[in-house]
Amino acid sequence: MHVKQHLQKADRNRDFVIKYLLNHVKEYPDWVSVVTFYSALHYVDALFAKQGLHREHHLERNRDVSLLMSEIENEFLNLYDLGRISRYESISEMPSAAEASEATNTDLPRIEEFVKSRL
C-alpha cells in the first residue's frame, strides 16, 4: 500500500474503535485492543511507505519501529502486545477494559501525531 492508503486504513480503524467499540470496552476489551493495534500498524506503515520501506512481518516492523521511531517505541510495542494477547491467548488473559481504553486514548493518539507530523 501507499502512504495515503495506509492513512485511510489507520483513520478508519481509529474512527471505528472510538465511535463504536469504546462504548463496549467492558464487554470487548480484546476487540478494542486489536483494532487499536491495527490502526497504529497502518500509521507506522504509512511512514515506512514514505521512506520506501514495506514491512510484511510484525517482528521486522517492531524492530524497525524501535530503531527508526524510538519516540513511539513504547506505545507501539504496548499496542502490539495487547493485540497479540487478544488474538492468541485465552479470554482470561485478555487485556482489561482499563488497559484497552488507556491504549486507545493515549498510545494511539501519540502514534498518530508522531506519524502525521513527519509525513
Domain that holds residue 19: 3-116
* CATH value at residue 50: 1.20.120
Could you tell me if residue 52 is left (phi over 0), alpha (psi between -120 and 50 degrees) or otherwise beta? left
Name the burial class of residue 66, with classes exposed (0-12), middle (13-18) and buried (19+) by CB atoms within 10 angstroms of its CB: middle
Number of domains the chain is built from: 1
The three three-digit cell numbers of residue 92, written as one number: 482470561
Q: What pLDDT sits at residue 47?
A: 97
pLDDT above 90 for 56 = no
Cα Rg, the chain, nearest whole Å: 13
* Structure confidence at residue 118 as a pLDDT band (50, 70, 90): very high
Predicted structure pTM score:
0.95
| pLDDT tens by residue, 57-103 | 999 999 999 999 999 999 999 999 999 999 999 999 999 999 999 99
Average predicted confidence (pLDDT) for the chain: 97
